[in-house]
Chains A and B, each alone.
With several copies, the nearest count.
Chain A
Amino acid sequence: MLDVARVRKDFPILDRIVNGRPLVYLDSAATSQKPQCVIDSITDYYSRYNSNIHRGIHSLGEEATAAYEGVREKVCNFIKATSAREVIFTRNTTEAVNLVASTYGRQHILAGDEILLTPLEHHSNLIPWQTLAKERDAKLVYCDVTEDGKVDVESVKRLINSRTRIVAVTLTSNVLGTIVPVAEICTIAHASGAVVFVDGAQAVPHLPVSVQDLQCDFLAFSMHKMLGPTGVGILWGKAEILEEMPPQMYGGNMINSVWRDRVILNQVPWRFEAGTPNIADVIASGVALDYLQALGMNNVRAHEKQLSQYALAQFSKIPGIKLYGPSTVEDRAGVFSFNLSGVHPHDVGQIVNEEGIAIRVGHHCCQPLMRDLDISGTARASFYVYTTEEEIDLLIGALDKARKVLGHVACR
C-alpha cells in the first residue's frame, strides 16, 4: 500500500492555505497535482541543458534529444507497448483523439459507415467523431448503459456490425467513475473488423493499463492528469496502423526532404510531431512516470479502491444525496459525482470552497450524459495518490453546511 503521509510530503501545493484552511484538493480528475521531482526536472532542464532537439550537433542539443526520446521508452514500458516508435507526443488527450479522427478517421470512414461510442464519452472523445461522421455522412451509434452507469456489453455486441469501422470508448468515465470492460469490447470489435480507440485519460493515471492486455488499437491519455506537467498528451497506436496514417500537421522535424513543390515525409512517430515540441514538459513527464512506477500502479489502484470504499459508505449517510455511478469499488475509480437535493452543484462548489475544499461542478464536458441523466450538472470529488480519508470527512462536513445554507432544510 501507499505511504500516503510520505507521498503528501512530495507535493508542495498541499501546504497551500485556501480561505484560511489547508487546501483539500479533490479535483484530480480535472488535473493532478505535481510532486517536487517533476517540478525540479523542469527547472533542471531550463537551467542546465535547454536546447532545441533532433537538429543539434552541440552537447546541449544531444542531451535534450536523448532525454526527450528517452521518455518514449518510458511511456512504452508504462503501458506495456512493444515499441517506443508507437508513442506520439501530443498536447493532451483531446489532440490525440483529433489526430486519429482527422487522419485514420478520414482515411477509413465512408458514407454509411458506423462509429460506435458509449454515452459516457467526454466531449473530447465525442465531438471529433461526431464531426467526422457529419463530414462523411457516417452514423454515430451509442451503446447502452445500465441504471448504475455500467456499459451494457450485450448492447455493444448487438450494435457492432460489418459497417462499424471505429469503436471509441473511454476506459474510465470521468463523471461516473465506471471502469469499462474495454478488453471485452476489443474482442467484439476486432471480430467485426473494427478498430478500437481507447480514451485512457481517467484510467492510465489510476490503474495498471497494458495495451497488450486490452488489445486495443489506439490509446490516448494526458500527462497533466498523472503527476506530469500541462501540455503533454500521449497517443499510442499500433505500428502497422500508424505507418499507414498521413500526418495531421506539417512543418519542421516531420520531413525527410522538401522541395518547393513536394515533400518526402519522415518515419513514425516523428511524422506526427511537427515543429518544436514541448521538450521540457515531455522530459518532466518521464519523471512523473518514474514516480508512479516507483509507487507501483497496483498500489495506486489499491489506495483508490480503499478510498472509494470509504467514500461510498460516508456519502450514503448524507440525507438527500444522489450518488451516480457503480456502487461496487471493483467497477469504479475514485471519481464521485453527486447532487444534493435542492442545492445546485454551483452552490455546492462555492460553499465547500469556502472551507478550502476544491471539487469540480458542472457538466464535466459530458453534456450528452447529463442530458441522459436529466440533470444540468453534478458536483464531483476525485481522488489520487495524495488523497486521505480525512479529506473525505472534511468534504462530508462541508456538504452538510451547503445543505444548511441553501437546501430545503433552510428554506423558509
Chain B
Amino acid sequence: MSLADELYRETILDHYHNPRNQGVLEGPSILSVEGVNPLCGDELILYLDVKDGKVEGISIKSRGCSINTASSSMMTEAVKGLPVERVEELIDAFKNMMLKGEQTAVPEEFEDLEALQGVKKYPVRIKCALLPWNTLIEALHSAASGETAKAISTE
C-alpha cells in the first residue's frame, strides 16, 4: 500500500484543503485553549462555547500539518451541537482507536473520522491527530471549572 492509500486518503485531503470551522470565535461565553505539540512545534487555539451542557460552538485556529488539520476539522464537525457527555464518549472512542489499535466502531454519523485510522501505522503522526482532541479535553475541563485560557501539550 502506498502512503497515499494509507495516510493521505481522499477524505483527509478534503478536510486538509477545506477545513471546517476554522478561525476565531468571539463572545463572552467563549473559552480559548492553546494546544502545543512540543516536538514539532505545532500549535493551535481551540475556541469553545458550551451552553446548557451542549457544545454550541467550536472552532480551531491553526497552521497544522494535513493530519492535524484534517483531525481538527473532522472533530469540530463531529462534536458541534452534541451534549458534553456524548462528546466525551466520542473523545474516548477516538483515542482508543488511535492508541489501542482497536478497530473501534465509530458511530456511523462520524464515519469521516475512520479515515484517520491509517495514521496508526505512522506513530509519529498520531500526536498530530490527537492534538485537537487533547486540547478539547482540556477545554471541557476548563469549561466545567469555569477557567479561562490555558496551554497544554500532547507529549
Assess A/B contact in the complex (Cβ within 8 A).
yes
- Min Cβ gap B33→A in Å is 13
Interface hits, A267-294 → B, CB 8 Å: 267, 270
Task: Report how many A-B pairs have Cβ atoms within 8 Å.
Answer: 88
Q: How many chain A residues have a CB neighbour from B under 8 Å?
A: 36
Q: Which residues of B contact A361 (CB under 8 A)?
A: 40
**Could you tell me the dominant secondary structure of chain A's interface residues?**
mixed
- Min Cβ gap A274→B in Å is 13
Q: A1 interface residue, CB < 8 Å from B?
A: no
Q: How many chain B residues have a CB neighbour from A under 8 Å?
A: 31
Interface hits, B6-44 → A, CB 8 Å: 7-8, 13-14, 16-17, 36, 38-43
Cα distance A354–B122 in the bound complex, in angstroms: 11
Would A376 and B38 be within 8 Å (CB), given that A347-B65, A410-B13 are in contact?
A: no
Cα distance A405–B3 in the bound complex, in angstroms: 9
Q: A17 interface residue, CB < 8 Å from B?
A: no
- Min Cβ gap B103→A in Å is 23
Q: Which of B49-57, B123-131, B137-145 contacts A (4 or more CB under 8 A)?
A: B123-131
Q: Which residues of A contact B65 (CB under 8 A)?
A: 344-347
Q: Are B36 and A362 in contact (CB under 8 A)?
A: no
Cα distance A370–B43 in the bound complex, in angstroms: 12
Cα distance A134–B38 in the bound complex, in angstroms: 22
- Min Cβ gap A108→B in Å is 26
Q: Are B41 and A363 in contact (CB under 8 A)?
A: yes
Q: A12 interface residue, CB < 8 Å from B?
A: no
Q: Which residues of B contact A356 (CB under 8 A)?
A: none
Cα distance A54–B124 in the bound complex, in angstroms: 9
Q: Are B43 and A62 in contact (CB under 8 A)?
A: no
Cα distance A346–B66 in the bound complex, in angstroms: 8
**Chain A residue nearest to B67 in the complex (CB):** A346
Q: Which of B3, B41, B151 contacts A351 (CB 8 A)?
A: B3
Q: Which residues of A contact B8 (CB under 8 A)?
A: 347, 405-406
Q: A22 interface residue, CB < 8 Å from B?
A: no
- Min Cβ gap B114→A in Å is 20
Cα distance A54–B64 in the bound complex, in angstroms: 18
Interface hits, A232-281 → B, CB 8 Å: 255-257, 264, 266-267, 270
Would A56 and B124 be within 8 Å (CB), given that A344-B65, A363-B40 are in contact?
A: yes
Q: Are B38 and A256 in contact (CB under 8 A)?
A: yes
Q: A48 interface residue, CB < 8 Å from B?
A: no
**Chain A residue nearest to B7 in the complex (CB):** A350
**Chain A residue nearest to B152 in the complex (CB):** A256
Q: Which of B4, B36, B123, B128 contacts A257 (CB 8 A)?
A: B36
Cα distance A345–B68 in the bound complex, in angstroms: 12
Cα distance A411–B151 in the bound complex, in angstroms: 33
Q: Are B151 and A370 in contact (CB under 8 A)?
A: no
Q: Which of B43, B124, B155 contacts A57 (CB 8 A)?
A: B124
**Chain B residue nearest to A267 in the complex (CB):** B155
Cα distance A267–B39 in the bound complex, in angstroms: 12
Would A367 and B41 be within 8 Å (CB), given that A345-B65, A346-B65, A346-B66 are in contact?
A: yes
Q: Which residues of A contact B41 (CB under 8 A)?
A: 257, 362-363, 367, 370, 376-377
Q: B117 interface residue, CB < 8 Å from A?
A: no
Q: Give 1 or 0 for each of A54-75: 1 = CB within 8 Å of chain B CB.
A: 1111000110011000000000
Interface hits, A92-110 → B, CB 8 Å: none
Q: Which residues of B contact A375 (CB under 8 A)?
A: 63
Q: A412 interface residue, CB < 8 Å from B?
A: yes
Q: Which residues of A contact B17 (CB under 8 A)?
A: 408, 411-412
Q: Give 1 or 0 for each of A359-393: 1 = CB within 8 Å of chain B CB.
A: 00111000100100001110000000000000000
Q: Which of B14, B38, B64, B124 contacts A344 (CB 8 A)?
A: B64
Cα distance A377–B63 in the bound complex, in angstroms: 10
**Chain A residue nearest to B40 in the complex (CB):** A362
Interface hits, B41-88 → A, CB 8 Å: 41-43, 63-69
Q: Are A264 and B43 in contact (CB under 8 A)?
A: no
Q: Which residues of B contact A411 (CB under 8 A)?
A: 13, 17
Q: Which residues of B contact A412 (CB under 8 A)?
A: 14, 17
Q: Which residues of B contact A354 (CB under 8 A)?
A: 2-3
- Min Cβ gap B37→A in Å is 9
Cα distance A255–B40 in the bound complex, in angstroms: 11
Q: Are A256 and B4 in contact (CB under 8 A)?
A: no
Q: Are B153 and A266 in contact (CB under 8 A)?
A: yes
- Min Cβ gap A348→B in Å is 9
Q: Give B residues with C-beta under 8 Å from A.
A: 2-4, 7-8, 13-14, 16-17, 36, 38-43, 63-69, 122-125, 128, 151, 153, 155
A-B contacts, 12 listed (Cβ < 8 Å): A55-B40, A66-B123, A256-B36, A267-B153, A270-B155, A346-B66, A346-B68, A362-B39, A363-B40, A367-B41, A406-B8, A406-B13
Q: Give A residues with C-beta under 8 Å from B.
A: 54-57, 61-62, 65-66, 255-257, 264, 266-267, 270, 344-347, 350-351, 354, 361-363, 367, 370, 375-377, 405-406, 408, 410-412
Q: Pick the 5 closest A-B CB pairs, nearest first.
A: A346-B65, A363-B41, A344-B65, A362-B40, A256-B38
